[in-house]
Amino acid sequence: MDFTRYDQEIADLKKRPLPARISQPLVLLYGSSTFTFWGHERASLDLAPYTICNHGFGGSTAADALMQFDLLVKPVAYDILALYEGDNDMVENFSADDVLHHMNKIIHLALAARPQGKILIVGVKPSPCRMQYDSLRRAINQRLEVLAKRLPSVVFVSLDPILLKSNGQPDEALFLPDMLHLNEAGYARLAQWLKAGFRQALGD
């Protein structure tokens, strides 16, 4: 596994100033390109009034996120850590148990580093171009949901309710032409759903 492939992207993230501490809760977005494509400024606008720090790095797996934890998570004094991994794991031949193993390690590192922080696990989204992996996607999400239920500071949110049509297929109108990443309408839905998840995580 090549952990050096993200060196430049991670170096750029480390150069970005961390958000100033203000009255609104600070959310750290950490994961793969579903967060990366959102960008820092757009995510900050969409997720207002929360203060946002976007440390997504595109193409990452849960193993990559675990490897970069000390660089990209530990320095941030977040109130909520929003985790999104598992999407790329499916195409890189990781099993559902592999994803669970790596995510469990990330979560326990986070709880140890910042005991007062809350964690929001964002389930792997149903993408039109990856429906051949849908059984694996559902298995990953089922394991992550069970993990969240075992830990008092962790909440799981599924993206199925906002991205699937009534026939159980992904709504292509919410995706870019690559049928993998969300478009503006997709991110608008994601923002409102995540904000509800943030409130749940904080007990509001």
| Rounded-to-10 torsion of CA 186, 189, 192, 196 | -110
Measured distance CA(164)–CA(187) in Å, rounded:
14
At the fourth CATH level, the homologous superfamily of domain 22-202 is: SGNH hydrolase (3.40.50.1110)
Confidence of residue 16 (pLDDT cuts 50, 70, 90): confident
What the block records as the tokens of 74 is: 């530990």
- What's the pLDDT score for residue 11? 66
One-character DSSP codes across 87-148: HHHHHTT--HHHHHHHHHHHHHHHHHH-TT-EEEEEPPP--GGGGGGHHHHHHHHHHHHHHH
Whose structure tokens read 């989204």?
Answer: 125
Q: How far apart are CA 64 and CA 61, in angstroms?
A: 5
The pLDDT score that the predictor gives to residue 22 is 67
Cα 70 to Cα 4: distance, rounded to the nearest angstrom: 15
Task: Write the CA distances from 165 to 141, 159, 169, integer angstroms.
Answer: 18, 12, 6
Question: At CA 20, angle to CA 32 and CA 15, rounded to 5?
Answer: 50
Q: What is the mean pLDDT of residues 35-46?
A: 96
Residue 3 in tokens: 């952990």
Q: Is the pLDDT of residue 21 over 70?
A: no
For 67-93, what is each residue's pLDDT tens digit? 999 999 999 999 999 999 999 999 999
Output the pTM of the full model: 0.92
% of the chain surpassing 70 pLDDT: 91
| Residue 17, pLDDT above cutoff 80 | no
112-135 average pLDDT score: 97
Once rounded to an integer, what is the mean pLDDT over residues 120-143? 98
Query: Which distant-in-sequence residues (6+ apart) come within 8 Å of 183 by Cβ?
Result: 174, 175, 176
pLDDT above 90 covers a percentage of the chain that reads 86
Please state, in angstroms and rounded to a whole number, the distance separating the CA atoms of residues 127 and 176.
10
Type of residue numbered 78:
Y
**How high is the mean pLDDT of the chain?**
93
d(CA 82, CA 155): 10
- Please report, for the chain, the start and end positions of each structural domain, with discontinuous segments joined by +: 22-202
